Structure 1
Amino acid sequence: MTHRQKHHRRHIGRVLGVVAALGAGLVAAPAPAGATSHTVRPGESIQAAVDAAAPGDTVVVGPGLYRESVQISKRLTLRGSGPATVLTPAPARPLAAHGCERDGNGICVTGTEQTAAEQVTIRSLTLRGFRKNGLWASHTDRLSVRQVTAEANGVWGIAQQRSTRASFRANTVRENGDAGIFIANAVDAEGGATDTGGTVIAENTLTANRIGVTVRRVRNLAVRGNEIFANCAGMFIVGDESKPTAGAMTVRDNTIRENNRLCAATPRLPAIQGSGIVLTGSEASVIRNNTIRDNKGSAPMSGGIVLFESLVGAANTDNVIENNEVKGNSTADLVHRGGGSGNRFAGNVCTSSEPAGMC
């Protein structure tokens, strides 16, 4: 090979190397960031960071105590640093910063009837001691609440109305005045059950609330894999005479035990104690593969799995209660009161029922 040929080959090799490097750089270079992360530290305002965030951004809140409520109405992620990121009520002041604070809630995720608040994620923080609710959501779609501790709030720990396709997973909800997790069609209006679009309540721990989980006048959701104990009642599925009827949901693989606190009667409910799962006015729900043990009381709705006529006289119809382990509950493991047709009990492991013969 001549000197000219060798030089030409080296030149071609260098050109190819540069092209390859440029090509590799084009592949490896990250795409321009479409979202921004905003960091909040103790002494700074979470709300200010939320207000400054663009849709799709993430607000990261460091460990510490934050005395404020937060209002969210756009697509974003609010992420704490674990249970040590704590939100508590703001000091009393004549003018609240926004409606969420004024109403006594911790975090509010709210859209409108015309435009839902979409794809909001709340995770890894604690909501403690709010006068009303730890987290309140209304007019949302695909809300995700994960690894949140909601404790010692006046009404509900985590609550949602007029919303679809939500996911509530791996939360710890305790010592709230009413339900730990509450899902409803609407809290301020009567009406038929609404379709939640497949909302999921899964893998949560719910303890020392009035009721662990309440789903009221809604359809099409799943409650699965939760640990529910030491409440006055484990779970309520609530309907009435309105149409569509509440129900068409699946409740499976939950452990519901020792919900034996005594809670006094309210204008909506009699006294409750020792209730595992209570269905009132439900249609076509499936209660399957749950472990329901040692829920004991003498209140009207005491028992393991209880079908009970609603307060307005609506019966349960076409529900399936099968393959549950229901033991040590009183007044009985399985209770079917208030009439209704098409309800089926099959394959349950239990020792007592009312009427007799369902075990």
Structure 2
Amino acid sequence: MNKCHLVYLACTAAVVGAGLGAAPASAGHMTHVVHAGQSIQKAVDAAAPGDRVLIAPGTYRESVTVTTPGLTLRGMGRGVVIQPAAAKTAAKTAAKTTGKTAAGSTGGATATCAAAGNGICVVGKKNRRLEDVTLASLTVTGFTRSGVYAVDTDRLTVRKVTAVKNGVWGIAQEASVRGVFRGNTARDNGDAGLFLANSITTEQGATDTGGTLVERNRLEGNRIGVTVRRLRNLTVAENHVTGNCAGVFVVGDENKPKAGAVTVAANRIVRNNKSCPKTARLDALQGSGVVMTGTEDTLVTQNVIRDNAGKSPLSGGIVLFKSFVGTTSERNRISGNELSGNLPADLVDQETAKANTFEANSCQVSRPAGLC
């Protein structure tokens, strides 16, 4: 070991050993190091735009809210686990947060996100999106709502994050643009492993995401692997989607502009045969590979979709599902996919509109016949 390396280790040890510390980083930015037993939120609050918060392995019982642009929140591997605080601690934190909101020092969305049961909250403002935040290399588990929840962000990156056994979504984002979700694992969450939407609460037309990318994630054991709701200009590519009740949902409705211009490409979507009961908004789910409803101009291509089998109205390999509100799916192209063993069929077209294209797919059974 050379002398320079020894000096570096000594400096790092001094920062960590001193408690919640900060070390110089490039371009004048600081690295704030959090050790087991310390507060991630305190380090985040102390960070300036462009700083990095580095989390040492350990279990941290807290929710974390990020409102600083350019911040990187990174764990030293999946041994960094963020879980809900104990009930008494959570109650105290909620009381403090409510007080800050009443005083006007913290915005409503910021204050309520963690209190609502989310793990990591990345929160911008409606008229000023939070830019260039990165979350990486950590595990978020056991929260009643979402492991990661982001709203009003621009160029959010979430990579190598494991979101496990959260009550609703593993990783969720709304009202945001140009996001990148790469190399994450979302497993055994109550609803979607990855959930992307224009707005969760407001009825409005689909919004343009500016090219958001969902790539090389593993989505397993959720109700739905990936849900894309009321969005346009987004790519879902090279993901491994298995063991969910349904693989990929691209969802629109009667609002204008219509959802669409989405690319679903080169994914492996196999054996999504978990059974999920009917809800107020959706039929029971089992055995769905890719489902599109109320969408336009979407390309589904070069996917491997196998052995998705069920008796739900949405079951099948690739399903064009008749919208509950009567909105047709138009000008969608299903091309060059490899499908086999999907039941009731590899390709299912329930649409009355004839403006969708099925071409060059390798498959055995379709409904109606003749699509393969």
User: Structure 1 length normalisation: TM-score?
Assistant: 0.90
Alignment of 1:37 onto 2:31: yes
After TM superposition, where is structure 1 displaced by more than 2 Å over at least 4 residues in a row?
A: 30-33, 97-101
What secondary structure is seen at the aligned counterpart in 2 of 1:261? coil
Alignment of 1:77 onto 2:96: no
Deviation at 1:212, TM superposition (A): 0.1
CA distance in 2, matches of 1:32, 1:344: 51
CA distance in 1, matches of 2:170, 2:158: 12
Which of 164, 189, 193 is residue 151 of structure 1 equivalent to?
A: 164
**Deviations 1:80-125 (Å, cap 9, x if unpaired)?**
0111000000111334144333110000001011111100000000
Alignment of 1:86 onto 2:99: no
8 A contact 1:209–1:232 mirrored in 2: yes
CA distance in 2, matches of 1:228, 1:170: 13
Cross-structure match for 1:130: 143
CA distance in 1, matches of 2:118, 2:354: 41
CA distance in 2, matches of 1:300, 1:340: 18
AA aligned to 1:92 is A
Alignment of 1:111 onto 2:144: no
CA distance in 2, matches of 1:108, 1:310: 32
Q: 1:341 to 1:243 in 2, by over 3 A?
A: farther
Q: How does 1:326-341 map to 2 (within 5 A)?
A: 326-341=339-354
8 A contact 2:169–2:191 mirrored in 1: yes
AA aligned to 1:86 is V
8 A contact 1:230–1:260 mirrored in 2: yes
8 A contact 1:150–1:172 mirrored in 2: yes
8 A contact 1:56–1:77 mirrored in 2: yes
Cross-structure match for 1:22: none
CA distance in 2, matches of 1:314, 1:73: 38
CA distance in 1, matches of 2:347, 2:114: 43
Q: How does 1:145-294 map to 2 (within 5 A)?
A: 145-294=158-307
**Deviations 1:261-299 (Å, cap 9, x if unpaired)?**
110001110001000000000100000000000000011
Q: How does 1:276-315 map to 2 (within 5 A)?
A: 276-315=289-328
* Structure 2 portions without partners, runs of 5+: 1-23, 98-110
CA RMSD of aligned residues (A): 1.2
CA distance in 1, matches of 2:252, 2:300: 16
8 A contact 2:294–2:323 mirrored in 1: yes
Cross-structure match for 1:21: none
AA aligned to 1:162 is A
CA distance in 2, matches of 1:125, 1:45: 15
Structure label with greater radius of gyration: 1
8 A contact 1:230–1:257 mirrored in 2: yes
**Deviations 1:177-225 (Å, cap 9, x if unpaired)?**
0000000010011110000000000000000000000000000000000
Deviation at 1:310, TM superposition (A): 1.3
AA aligned to 2:116 is D
Which of 48, 52, 61 is residue 54 of structure 1 equivalent to?
A: 48
What secondary structure is seen at the aligned counterpart in 1 of 2:137? strand
Cross-structure match for 2:12: none
**Deviations 1:237-264 (Å, cap 9, x if unpaired)?**
0001110000101110000000001100
State how many pairs are aligned: 330
Cross-structure match for 1:23: none
Alignment of 1:139 onto 2:152: yes
User: Structure 2 length normalisation: TM-score?
Assistant: 0.87
8 A contact 2:25–2:31 mirrored in 1: no
Deviation at 1:315, TM superposition (A): 1.3
CA distance in 1, matches of 2:26, 2:234: 38
What secondary structure is seen at the aligned counterpart in 2 of 1:331? coil
CA distance in 2, matches of 1:283, 1:276: 18
Cross-structure match for 1:7: none
8 A contact 1:70–1:100 mirrored in 2: no
